[in-house]
Amino acid sequence: MRFYYYCFYRLTNAYKVLDEKDPEIYARGLVTLCQSLNLLSLIAIPFIINNSQYPLELVVIIILLTLMINWFFVLNKRKYIQLEERWKGENVKYKKLKLYLIWFYVLLSLIVYMVTLSIMFGSVSDLELMM
């Protein structure tokens, strides 16, 4: 959980720099998206082995469950204040590097999920039919 807390904290700070009105909401959404994509990529493994596809309902359920857990219980403004206190003395040099690594994680989550979908559905044309 510490990794996701740190992602939430740093992404919230990044959105604050952009003068967003509610940076916690954007950071929470991005962390939730990455967590959901990671879960869906892992859940796809048995489907790929069995040469089948998971239903769209499963995707919706995973995303909604992850969103609800993060939104109401894990990542909120109160938690951000605690995390800000925890990491306020962080080394500036490593802080920037860690932010780049977080953005790399976000990008990697998207890429892995897209590769997983392309393997599961066999081709891009089959994927387009699903949507």
Sign of the CA dihedral with 70 first, then 116, 118, and 115 last = positive
How many structural domains does the chain have?
1
pLDDT score at 74 = 80
Range of the domain at 114: 2-130
* pLDDT digit string (tens) for the chain, length 131 residues: 789 899 999 998 888 888 778 888 888 999 999 999 999 999 999 988 888 888 999 999 999 999 999 888 787 778 888 888 998 888 888 888 998 999 999 999 999 999 999 888 875 445 455 44
Find how far residue 122's CA is from the centre of its chain.
25
Count of CB atoms within 10 A of residue 50's CB? 8
Is pTM, for the whole model, over 0.85?
A: no
